[in-house]
Chains A and B, each alone.
Chain A
Amino acid sequence: MTTIDAHHHPVPDQRPKKERLFWKNRGHAEHFRSHEEEFDACKFGMWLFLATEVLLFAGIFCAYAVFRTMYPDAWAAGSHYLNWKIGGLNTVVLLISSFTAAMAVRCAQLDQQRWLKINLVITLLCAAAFVFIKLNYEYIPKLLDGKAPGTFYSYPFAHDPHEPLWWGVYYIGTGIHALHVFIGAGLLAWVLYRATRYKAYGPTEYTMVENSALYWHLVDLVWIFLFPLLYLIH
């Protein structure tokens, strides 16, 4: 963003963008006293943001808990429509991607540019795999069966009258989680782009890698709870 204020530096940096964004040439915003302080502030800010995300999902978990307690039979029946193998596969995919995201941070810290990119690519591939599995083996077959939320529910062979409620919680929970997968993948793709184009991340400049990875781990964390709740609890 360009501002006329010239707020960051009295003299604007005239170097070409490629040089300015190279990690060794990165300074810190003027209102921070040091690079270190800026890094801490950004990471602390990210954690606060993650806290808001956790509380966002708390609403879904609360709806789950309340209706699980009220209608255990509907929840058990609903859970049986889901194939734990698909859910388990997605768990494995997300765990691996979480590992590679953590590795990407390490590579940035050690200035291993090539491995940084490789790790990011693997993470993004895992994200794509997750969405593909979710859509192809879960959402589409279920929706074709008529197991849709609310009034769109047209599956005739329900075991319990409250099953549409289960599907509502299922689609909202996994849907908002999938939205977070897209956002996290977008952040990591942005990191990958800047790493490739500008070599923007290195031992003194990896805030963005770290924060995007934190976000990605949050996506993983939410799935760690969604998987047993949706697929395994009878």
Chain B
Amino acid sequence: MNDTNAHAPAFDPMDPHGSTHAGGHHGHVIVHWRTQLIILFALLALTALTVFVAQAESLIIAEMGITIPHWVNILGAMIIAVVKATLVCMFFMQLKYDKPLNALVLFFCLFCVFLFLFFATLDLTSRGLIRPERAQYLVAGGTGEGLNGTVQDGTVSSNPGSPRIATGGLAITEFRFEQKRASYDSDRAMWSDYYHHQEETGAHPHRHEKDTTNYFALLGYDHPERSTEERSRPSHGLTPGLFAEHAPAHHAADHHDDAHADTDHAADDHAAETHTDDEHPADDHPEDDGH
């Protein structure tokens, strides 16, 4: 950089006190404000870029239906983050002008971070790689049971005092959902609250995957401008493919006509006309709302 008025001399381990560079504050560099300002703008631009890349990716996934693998998203974001971090280290933290010793400290430390992340992640993801039949015993701490596991013989294989005991073997998310549903008269009322709350808080309402009978559409939160296949797919927001296994079940609308007859005729009409090719009957969804 031309903006600096001096360069730090190389650190000489045999001469730690710099006695050969007699006099003056030889190592002290005053970085020009213009350099720093350029770096700031570069950092802001990179921030915008990383947001743009992430947005573009989810847009491509949602609008064009192209599946982009996970690692593209991660790698892209991380490369930009590393570039930003390098800029901060070199210019704001002045490692570029500093004694190499300080940079060496950072490199050693990052090497340790790498080792730590690498081996820990490798172990937790490669258990059972060599002997697949052991995988179930090695995953998640040797119980072979994640949250999705089943409770057998009324016993839950988890720590005494674990929240899972208190929830009767349910995952805590399931437990809270059951609690919530018990406090409403009907499913419809609960989802009505849920979508309205989303709207009130300014969030773009999306159909929840647990909303198996698609009250989302019944309550009028649909996207009429979208085509049939993509109508309940968010343009951004929830995981793509989240609704794949819960295809919309519109005849449920007829089922509950009595409950919401005068709420939203437009939505009902719309739901009826857009779901002509129904392949998934609703009988795989529990009809368990309170009557």
Residues of A within 8 A of B (CB): 33-34, 36-37, 39-40, 43-44, 47-48, 50-51, 54-55, 58-59, 61-62, 65-66, 69-70, 72-73, 76-77, 80, 84, 88, 91-92, 95-96, 98-99, 101-103, 106, 109-110, 141, 146, 150-151, 153-164, 203-204, 213-214, 217, 220-221, 224-225, 227-229, 232-234
Contact = CB atoms under 8 A, between A and B. Distances in A.
For B31, B102, B112, B120, the residue with the greatest tally of chain A CB atoms inside 10 Å of its CB is B102
B202 to A, nearest CB: 9
Contacts of B242: 159
For A48, A98, A234, the residue with the greatest tally of chain B CB atoms inside 10 Å of its CB is A234
A164 B54 contact: no
B105 A47 contact: yes
A96 B88 CA distance: 12
A220 B43 CA distance: 11
B30 interface: yes
B74 interface: yes
Nearest to B91: A102
A154 B58 CA distance: 29
A188 B17 CA distance: 29
B182 to A, nearest CB: 10
Contacts, number: 192
Nearest to A210: B94
B75 to A, nearest CB: 10
Contacts of A96: 40
A159 B91 contact: no
A59 B57 CA distance: 29
B217 to A, nearest CB: 17
B92 A99 contact: yes
B208 to A, nearest CB: 6
The SS class assigned to the B binding surface is helix
B228 interface: no
A162 B33 CA distance: 47
Contacts of B27: 36, 39-40
B221 interface: no
A154 B176 CA distance: 6
Interface stretch (B129-137, B166-174, B264-272, B278-286): B166-174
B28 interface: yes
7 contacts: A34-B17, A47-B105, A99-B92, A103-B36, A159-B210, A224-B81, A234-B73
A50 B194 CA distance: 45
A69 B211 CA distance: 27
B259 interface: no
A64 to B, nearest CB: 9
Contacts of A51: 105-106, 108-109
Contacts of B109: 51, 54-55
Given A39-B28, A110-B30, A150-B163, 5 more contacts: A54-B109, A109-B30, A161-B172, A217-B88, A217-B93
A109 to B, nearest CB: 5
Interface stretch (B44-52, B150-158, B247-255): B44-52
A66 B113 contact: no
B1 interface: no
